[in-house]
Amino acid sequence: MTKTGEYSWEGSHVLRRENPETGYTVRLHFAEGNADQQIVEEIQDILAEAYMRNRMTKGGEGLGSGKK
């Protein structure tokens, strides 16, 4: 397992992060044929979607709302 900050690779296609404070573990599984750039783009899409969903559940204060 290779450490990358708080993230670890399990094998070559599973990125894992554990949060000891909350007890949650997140694993991102990637297809074996994905190149590094495809993995980066997929992670960016996942993070953007999670951010937007989180902001929408907090009263629609998403990007461009002018609220902080």
Which tens digits make up the pLDDT trace of 2-25? Answer: 555 578 888 878 888 888 888 888
Determine the pLDDT at residue 23: 83
Dist CA 56 CA 52 (whole Å): 6
pLDDT at position 2 is: 56
Single-letter residue type at 38: Q
Query: Is there a contact between 52 and 65 (Cβ–Cβ < 8 Å)?
Result: no
User: Are 23 and 11 spatial neighbours (Cβ–Cβ below 8 Å)?
Assistant: no
Which residues are paired to 7 by β-bridges?
A: 4, 17
What is residue 68's predicted lDDT score, i.e. its pLDDT?
A: 47
pLDDT of 28 > 80? The answer is: yes
Quote the pLDDT of residue 53: 83
Please say whether the beta carbons of 2 and 9 come within 8 A.
yes
pTM for this prediction: 0.48
Residue 7 has a CB neighbour count (10 Å cut-off) of: 14
